[in-house]
């Protein structure tokens, strides 16, 4: 008898062998809107059969700078503030829990057999909506007290939301902050521990207190801090672990049984593959990382050009692993 999606995910994150690897995928938001128009809301579940539902709505509206959309991407054209002394007067959002958790409650009600995880962006993600990234890392050094005070105000909000979210029947808490690019970390591991880790831990410790596994998202090359994620933060599943940037054999040798992968797909190449190549790519990923559990196959944002046929090949390939 086939496992439910949630059973499949839970076995994978316990490093036990599921009937097949669980999966999910993301793509350019314009392409997602087109597919939603064709197949309806939650088309990844209803049409393609993914196992994971990321409940994004559990974040109140933080203040932001001014953005302009270009080619499907939002670009900041005016920062929310220039002087860090002004951040003390920036209000934090009201915690209207009925509104914050309406989407999560709908997911849990409509998809009771799926693994619903709650997305929890942290301070770097939130501050990048207010100030340009190239300024933020210099600000940490130049205005450490002001930065930390503002970061604590934001992480206090996300911790309060996490405390409520973990009382729902969710499969995991999913913390998100980008700390790397294709060439490596944006700041040193020592600076990461000093400036950012306390805010991550504030939320992560709540998840652990509720016996929930923790997923973590960061783009880029992060092999320098695998041990930090695994040992200091107790991360169970790391996303997306881009294959062009990481040695999967080394990752498995170092982390299997403690930290697995939620990702692994070559996001930057799926739109160029034939259906046969998609099948081969998925099979190789499963062989490298997933035969003994520890893998939820997923992508970061696939290119706008990705076709329905390629996505259906992806879903078919995953469902034929095992």
pLDDT at 322 over 90: no
**Amino acid 53: pLDDT:** 98
Check: CB of residue 197 under 8 Å from CB of residue 232: yes
Percent of the chain with pLDDT over 70: 100
The model's pTM is 0.97
Give mean pLDDT, residues 104-126: 98
**Strand-pair category, 237-239 with 260-264:** parallel
Confidence band of 172 (pLDDT split at 50, 70, 90): very high
Tokens at 181, concatenated: 């690019």
Q: What is the pLDDT of residue 181?
A: 95
What confidence tens digit (pLDDT) does each residue in 201-258 have? Answer: 999 999 999 999 999 999 999 999 999 999 999 999 999 999 999 999 999 999 999 9
The predicted structure's pLDDT at residue 1: 77
Q: Which residue in 255, 219, 208, 214 sits closest to 237, CA to CA?
A: 214
Write down the domain spans for the chain.
5-319
Query: For position 77, what pLDDT does the model report?
Result: 94
Please report the pLDDT score of residue 316 as a whole number.
98
* 164 band by pLDDT with thresholds 50, 70 and 90: very high
> What CATH architecture applies to the domain 5-319?
Alpha-Beta Barrel (3.20)
Give the chain as a 3 state SS string. CCCCHHHHHHHHHCCCCCCCCCECCEECHHHHHHHHHHHCCCHHHHCCCCCEEEECCCCCCCCCCEEEEECCEEEEEECCCCCHHHHHHCCCCCCCHHHHCHHHHHHHHHCCCCEEEEEEECHHHHHCCCCCHHHHHHHHHHCHHHHHHHHHHHHHHHHHHHHHHCCCCCCEEEEECCCEECCEECCCHHHHHHHHHHHHHHHHHHHHHCCCCEEEECCCCCHHHHHHHHHHCCCCEEECCCCCCCCHHHHHHHHCCCCEEEEECCCCCHHHCCHHHHHHHHHHHHHHHHECECEEEECCEECCCCCHHHHHHHHHHHHCCC
Residue of higher predicted confidence among 50 and 1: 50
Tokens 């593959």, located at residue: 273
Question: Over the stretch 2-50, which tens digit does the pLDDT of each residue have?
Answer: 899 999 999 999 999 999 999 999 999 999 999 999 999 999 999 999 9
pLDDT band at 277 (very low <50, low <70, confident <90, very high): very high
CA distance 296 to 23: 5
What mean pLDDT, rounded, does the chain reach? 96
């Amino acid at each position: 008898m086939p496992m439910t999606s949630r059973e499949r995910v839970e076995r994978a994150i316990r490093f036990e062998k599921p009937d097949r690897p669980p999966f999910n995928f993301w793509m350019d938001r314009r392409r997602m809107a087109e597919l939603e128009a064709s197949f309806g809301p939650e088309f990844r579940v209803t049409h393609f059969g993914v196992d994971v539902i990321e409940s994004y709505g559990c974040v109140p509206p933080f203040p932001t700078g001014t953005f302009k959309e270009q080619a499907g991407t939002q670009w900041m054209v005016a920062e929310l503030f220039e002087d860090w002394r002004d951040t003390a007067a920036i209000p934090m959002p009201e915690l209207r829990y009925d509104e914050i958790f309406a989407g999560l409650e709908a997911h849990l009600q409509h998809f009771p057999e799926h693994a619903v995880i709650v997305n929890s962006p942290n301070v770097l993600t939130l501050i990048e909506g207010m100030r340009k990234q190239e300024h933020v890392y210099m600000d940490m050094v130049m205005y450490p007290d002001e930065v930390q005070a503002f970061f604590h105000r934001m992480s206090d909000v996300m911790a309060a939301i996490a405390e409520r979210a973990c009382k729902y029947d969710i499969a995991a808490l999913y913390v998100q902050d980008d700390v790397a690019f294709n060439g490596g970390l944006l700041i040193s591991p020592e600076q990461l521990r000093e400036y950012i880790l306390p805010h991550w831990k504030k939320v992560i410790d709540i998840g652990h207190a509720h016996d929930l596994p923790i997923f973590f998202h960061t783009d880029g090359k992060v092999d320098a801090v695998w041990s930090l994620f695994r040992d200091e933060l107790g991360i169970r599943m790391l996303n997306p672990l881009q294959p062009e940037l990481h040695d999967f054999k080394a990752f498995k040798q170092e982390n299997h049984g403690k930290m697995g992968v939620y990702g692994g797909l070559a996001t930057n190449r799926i739109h160029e593959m034939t259906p046969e190549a998609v099948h081969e790519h998925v099979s190789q990923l499963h062989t490298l990382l997933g035969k003994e559990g520890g893998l939820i196959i997923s992508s970061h944002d696939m290119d706008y050009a990705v076709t329905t046929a390629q996505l259906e090949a992806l879903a078919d390939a995953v469902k034929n692993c095992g």
